[in-house]
């Protein structure tokens, strides 16, 4: 018999006492009762940026929900650290990548102004909205670590410096993917991943990448959006580093 699906819900409105979680939040309340239609004695996972709780719904009142804590765990930093450098592209596509960052457990997120980036002088990082998108990805993937968002847009040159000569970039002229990921790295290894904007790398950027002897990967002859490439890289690295 297949086990019933356990929903995962993020909320910061947690009061914890005597193995009980008391959550007084209208958004949480409506979601549990009207959207998920959960009932007393059903099991659910509740998490914030510090802890995750396996709980059983204990009591539903007019304004709040009380849950019995079955198991509590501190959310640890992931052993696989993936630092993602997202080029400034259309906001819709950036949001797609951010969802995967939550779902797949990215470690840190940077936004990079490439020479061919769109909206490169007017772009603003809406951290509050971006966090909501990442939370949705965390809930769907049952992945509880919340990646850090660098809110200041960095330059191409800053990206090269931050990545400490470990940058892996996607390029149509890069190597076959098997040549790059043919063995697992040690547990403390950090990945730094990027790809160019939709218009591609500028000539001087390509020159810097080649001179730096950084690793480049080709994903075949077909053209991919930047957002698809970065989302794929998150899934790929998690898959290759699964024991």
Q: How far apart are CA 186 and CA 77, in angstroms?
A: 16
Domain co-membership, 92 together with 20: no
The number of beta carbons lying within 10 Å of the beta carbon of residue 138 is 24
Domain co-membership, 100 together with 16: no
| Residue 199's CATH number | 3.40.1280.10
**What's the first-to-final CA gap in the chain, in angstroms?**
27
Instruction: Walk along the chain (243 residues) and give the pLDDT tens digit of each residue.
Output: 445 788 999 999 889 898 999 998 888 888 988 898 989 999 999 999 999 999 999 999 888 899 999 999 999 998 889 999 999 988 889 999 999 999 999 999 999 999 988 655 456 778 889 999 999 999 999 999 999 999 899 999 999 999 988 899 998 888 877 777 666 566 667 899 999 998 889 999 999 998 887 888 887 777 789 999 999 999 988 887 776
Domain co-membership, 124 together with 184: yes
Domain co-membership, 48 together with 151: no
Domain co-membership, 114 together with 223: yes
Report the pLDDT value the prediction gives residue 2, as an integer from 0 to 100.
Answer: 46
Beta bridge partner(s), residue 111: 86
Domain residues for the domain of 203 are: 81-240
1 is a domain residue: no
Tokens representing 124 are: 């603003």
* Of residues 31, 29, 30, the one with CA closest to residue 7: 31
Domain co-membership, 225 together with 206: yes
Domain co-membership, 94 together with 121: yes
Report the pLDDT value the prediction gives residue 236, as an integer from 0 to 100.
Answer: 87
> Which residue in the block uniquely carries the two structure tokens 């929900």?
65
Q: Which of 34, 53, 74 is the last residue of a domain?
A: 74
Domain co-membership, 141 together with 236: yes
Which phi and psi (to 5°) does residue 173 adopt? -100, 10
**Surface-to-core class of residue 233, CB atoms within 10 Å of its CB (0-12 exposed, 13-18 middle, 19+ buried):** buried
Domain co-membership, 89 together with 146: yes
Tokens representing 225 are: 């959006």
Q: Which of 74, 98, 125 is the last residue of a domain?
A: 74
193 is a domain residue: yes
Q: How far apart are CA 140 and CA 182, in angstroms?
A: 29
Residues 6 or more apart whose Cβ sits within 8 Å of residue 172: 218
Domain co-membership, 102 together with 190: yes
Domain co-membership, 86 together with 26: no
Domain co-membership, 22 together with 104: no
| Residue 59's CATH number | 2.40.240.20
Report the pLDDT value the prediction gives residue 238, as an integer from 0 to 100.
Answer: 85
Number of separate domains in the chain: 2
């Amino acid at each position: 018999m297949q086990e019933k699906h356990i929903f995962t819900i993020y909320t910061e409105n947690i009061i914890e006492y005597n193995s009980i979680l008391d959550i007084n939040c209208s958004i949480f309340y409506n979601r549990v009762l009207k959207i998920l239609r959960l009932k007393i004695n059903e099991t659910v996972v509740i998490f914030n940026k510090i802890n995750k709780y396996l709980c059983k719904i204990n009591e539903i009142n007019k304004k709040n929900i009380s849950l019995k804590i079955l198991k509590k765990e501190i959310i640890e930093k992931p052993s696989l650290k993936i630092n993602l450098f997202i080029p400034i592209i259309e906001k819709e596509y950036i949001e797609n990548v951010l969802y995967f960052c939550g779902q797949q457990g990215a470690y840190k997120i940077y936004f990079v102004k490439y020479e061919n980036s769109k909206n490169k002088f007017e772009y603003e990082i809406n951290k509050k909205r971006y966090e909501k998108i990442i939370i949705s990805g965390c809930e769907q993937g049952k992945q509880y670590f919340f990646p850090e968002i660098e809110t200041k847009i960095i330059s191409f040159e800053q990206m090269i410096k931050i990545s400490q000569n470990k940058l892996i970039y996607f390029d149509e002229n890069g190597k076959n993917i098997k040549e790059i990921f043919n063995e697992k790295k040690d547990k403390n290894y950090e990945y730094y991943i990027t790809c160019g904007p939709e218009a591609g790398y500028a000539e001087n950027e390509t020159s810097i990448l080649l001179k730096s002897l950084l690793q480049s990967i080709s994903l075949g002859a077909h053209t991919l959006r930047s957002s698809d490439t970065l989302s794929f890289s998150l899934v790929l690295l998690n898959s290759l580093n699964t024991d």
